Amino acid sequence: MTALLRLHGVQKSYGQRRLLEIETLEIAEASAYVLTGMNGSGKSTLLRILSGLEAASIREAHYLGQQFSLAPYPQRLRQEIVYVHQHPVMFSGTVAQNIGYGLQLRRERQLAHKVAQAMEWAGVSHLQRHAARTLSGGEKQRVALARAKVLQARLLLLDEPTANLDGAAREQVMALIPSLTQSGGSVIVACHDRDLIALPQVHRLKLRDGRLEYR
């Protein structure tokens, strides 16, 4: 099967410090991955590189079998790879407006219907007219997931989506993650080991000393 994304020779340094030295990163279609590693091991940096938010040296890159360069970051990948920040930024306006924003930029049809579906999926329909900036951390994270899901990304990159949550808020966010691959997309979740328990059928990646281990 053709991989969704395959990178060889990924190197990233900050000043004198070599942070990442990854020989191969391969992401299959419709698959879920968890990315673990100690604080500061480079999880966020790697996700940001994949989404074009951070530059890196990459020897060879393929997307759906086609060779491409990440510099400049291709427009197609900008549409198909979506990064969700640990502390998602809410735009001013309502929850529904936040979720529909990307679709509106793309001038997609059936906007209201797609937004309604995404809100239902994320369990935030009852908040649709609330100002997004006034939501709790867990609610914001679910809105951010709905905002990403509605774009039908091929690859979603979730950066510690549950790190700042506990109790029911954490469980609600965790419960959404497995279903992200059901529509054929892939997802990489940077998280801590204890978060893995609730995630069925995931591939495990670990960053250690800049290298990527498949476990």
Ligand X SMILES: Nc1ncnc2c1ncn2[C@@H]1O[C@H](COP(=O)(O)OP(=O)(O)O)[C@@H](O)[C@H]1O
Question: Where does this chain bind ligand X (CB under 6 A)?
Answer: 14, 19, 37, 39-45
**Based on CB atoms, which residue is closest to Mg ion, 43 or 149?**
43
Over its C-alpha atoms, the chain yields an Rg (Å, rounded) of 17
**Least separation in angstroms between CB 136 and Mg ion:** 21
**Least separation in angstroms between CB 70 and ligand X:** 17
Distance CA 201, CA 15 (A): 38
**Based on CB atoms, which residue is closest to ligand X, 163 or 199?**
163
Dihedral sign, Cα of residue 156, residue 133, residue 91, residue 96: positive
**Least separation in angstroms between CB 156 and ligand X:** 17
**Neighbouring-strand partners of residue 186:** 155
Does 44 participate in binding Mg ion (rule CB under 5 A)?
yes
Question: Which among 52, 134, 144 has a CA at the least distance from the CA of 89?
Answer: 144
Does 45 participate in binding Mg ion (rule CB under 5 A)?
no
**Neighbouring-strand partners of residue 206:** 36, 213
**Least separation in angstroms between CB 117 and Mg ion:** 30
**Based on CB atoms, which residue is closest to ligand X, 43 or 114?**
43
Distance CA 191, CA 14 (A): 23
**Based on CB atoms, which residue is closest to ligand X, 39 or 92?**
39
Does 162 participate in binding Mg ion (rule CB under 5 A)?
no
Enter the DSSP assignment of 86.
S
**Least separation in angstroms between CB 84 and Mg ion:** 12
Question: Which among 52, 49, 67 has a CA at the least distance from the CA of 13?
Answer: 49
Residues that bind Mg ion (CB under 5 A): 43-44
